[in-house]
Structure 1
C-alpha cells in the first residue's frame, strides 16, 4: 500500500520539529573532523513546492513553517534551521520547502556520505529529479527498513540514521522497533533519529516507551502537541522525535527553543511540549 504522499503535509508542524532536530544533529556531526554517513530510510521527494495542488489542498504548511518564516526572535537552534529553509528559497519568498535530503545536502562536507531510500515510485521519481547522485550521494528505490541492514556500520564508523516512515500502515511501528534493534546490534555507537506522529492510536502512545527499551546508552525524547483532535477524536495533534545516542549539546539546544516553538505553533491554549533525556 503506497498511497501516502508527503507533498500534502510538507512544511507542517511535524516537519518543523523533525527537521529542527535533524539540523542540530548534523551540525554536531560536522563539527568533528572525521566524515560520517547519513542514512535516510524514507527520503520522500527531497523538496516540495508549497503552491502545488497537493500542498494547497490542506495548507498544512500555514500552521507550520509559515508561522515562523519571518520570525526575528528565533532561538539559535530554530535560526539555524530557518537559515537553511531560506537558502532553499533564494528569491526570499516561501515557495519551496526542503525535505530531509535537501537539508542534509546543504550540511554535508566533502567526504561525508548520504544514502537515500524511497519505495514510493512517484516520490522516488521526484527525488531523482531533486538529487544529483554520485560518489557522495546514492539513492535507491527500495524499502528503507530492509536497506538499513546493508548500511550499518559505515566504513568510517560514524553515522546517523533518520527513520521517519509515514506510519500509514500500523505495521510501521513494529518495523521501526525491529529495524532499530537489528541496526544497534551492528552499530551500537550510531546516532538514530526516529520521528513519530502523535495520533489516537495505541502504537503511537507506546512507541516512545518501546524506543527507550531499545537504547543501549543514552537517549533524548522531544514531543510537541499543537492542536486538538477533531470531533471524531482523530487527527495529527503533534509529533515526537526520539534520538538514540544524541549529541551532548542537543538537550540544551532544544530546552532553549521548545517553549518558543510551542508558543509560535500552538493552535489552542493547551499546546505543550515534552523534553526528556537519559544519559549514561
Structure 2
C-alpha cells in the first residue's frame, strides 16, 4: 500500500469519522460493563499538522482548522473539539489525534483496545505512541485478518459482549474495497453479533454507492445506518467530495445525535454544493 494518512489528517473526512467515533464511545461507556474496541486500519495514531506531509495538501485547514476557528454550537462537535484541544495541550499545538488516540482517551481502565496497522513504519510509530498503556495492544498485521483472530473478544476466559469495530481502509482498490469490507463485516457480525461495527467510506460520485448500500442493508445486523457528509457536489470521480460511515448495530438514539451534528458540520465545512445525508438502510429491530 502507498497510502499515508498524514497527508489527509484533520480533513473533512477525519472530522466526520472522529465526531461519530466519540459519540459512539460515549454511548457505549454510559454502561459500566467492560468494552472492547478494534481499529483495523489504525495508522500511526497521532499526526502533526505542521509536517511537510500535512502542509503539502492543506486539507486540515478546511477541516479541523475551520472548526477550531469558529466552533459550531453542537454537543457532539464540542465533545470532539475538546478531545483535539486535550491532545494539543498534552502533545503540542500542531498535534492531531487519530482514531487510536481518541479511543484510548474516550474509553476506560476496564476497557481494552486493539489497533492494527500493516505498514511497518506506521505500525512502529503507532506502537511508540502507546508505549506504557496496557489497555492498548498494537498489531503489525492486516486488519481484516485481525477481525477473524480477535473476534469475539475476551479478557482472559470472559467473553466481552459490548464494543466497537472501526474499519477505515485506504480504498486504494477503489470500488473493489467495498466488496472486501462487506465480506469482512458479514464475517465479523457472525463472530460478534453484539458488536457495533463502523465502516468509513469515501464519496466521489454518490450514485455509485447504491449497490454497496443494498448489500449493507442485507447484512446480519440489528440495524444499518448511513451517515454522510459532502463538502462539494458529488459530480467528479477524480476527487473525494465527501465521506460516510456505515454503522451496524448503532447505539440507541445515535441517529439524533449525529443528525444534528451533520447539519452543523455542513454549515462549517461546505465548500459549495455540499450536502448531508442520514438514512436507516435497515431500521432497528
For residues 105-116 of structure 1, the aligned pairs below 5 Å read 105-116=104-115
| Aligned Cα root-mean-square deviation (Å) | 1.9
For 1:67, the equivalent position in structure 2 comes to 66
Q: What's the counterpart of residue 273 of structure 1?
A: 276
Going from structure 1 to structure 2, the CA distance change for 1:134 and 1:207 (only over 3 Å counts) comes to same
- Which residue of 2 is the match for residue 164 of structure 1? 168
> Which residue of the other structure, out of 221, 235, 240, is the alignment partner of 1:236?
240
Q: Distance in 2 between matches of 1:125 and 1:228?
A: 38
Q: Would the aligned equivalents of 1:40 and 1:163 in 2 still touch at CA under 8 Å?
A: yes
Give distance in 2, aligned partners of 1:72 and 1:180.
Answer: 34
Unaligned runs of at least 5 residues, structure 1: none
Deviates more, 1:109-118 or 1:168-177: 168-177
Residue aligned with 1:216, SS? coil
Counterpart residue number, 2:198: 193
Report the equivalent of 2:264: 260
SS in 2 for 1:147: helix
Which of 214, 223, 248 is the matching residue for 1:218?
223
CA distance in 1, matches of 2:129, 2:109: 19
Compared CA separation, residues 115 and 203, structure 1 to 2 (3 A): farther
Q: Could you tell me the TM-score, scaled by structure 2's length?
A: 0.91
Bigger mean CA offset, 18-27 vs 73-82: 73-82
- More deviation, 20-29/216-225: 216-225
Change (3 A) 1:149 1:203: farther
Contact map agreement 1:200 1:234 (CA 8 A) in 2: no
Q: Indicate the SS of the match to 1:192.
A: strand
Distance 1:202 1:147 in 2: 31
Q: CA deviation digits over 1:233-260, x for unaligned, max 9?
A: 4100000001001111211111222111
Please give the residue correspondences for 1:84-163 in structure 2 after superposition, counting only pairs within 5 Å: 84-90=83-89, 94-132=93-131, 135-154=134-153, 155-163=159-167
C-alpha separation between the residues in 1 aligned to 2:248 and 2:72?
Answer: 30
Q: Deviations along 1:62-108, whole A, 9 cap, x unmatched? A: 11111101334420011011110110111797511100000111111
**Mapped contact 1:133–1:139 kept (Cα < 8 A):** no
**Maintained 8 Å contact 2:228/2:244:** yes
Matched residue count: 277
Give the gaps of 5 or more residues in structure 2.
154-158
| TM-score, normalised via structure 1 length | 0.93
Distance of aligned partners of 1:187 and 1:82 in 2 relative to their CA distance in 1, 3 Å threshold: same
Q: Cα gap change, 1:243/1:63 in structure 2, threshold over 3 Å: closer, same or farther?
A: same
Question: Is the contact made by 1:229 and 1:235 (CA closer than 8 Å) also made in structure 2?
Answer: no
Q: Which moved more, 1:254-263 or 1:206-215?
A: 206-215
Return the alpha-carbon distance in structure 2 between the equivalents of residues 108 and 204 of structure 1.
32
Query: Aligned partners of 2:81, 2:211: CA distance in 1, in Å?
Result: 31
SS at match of 2:225: strand
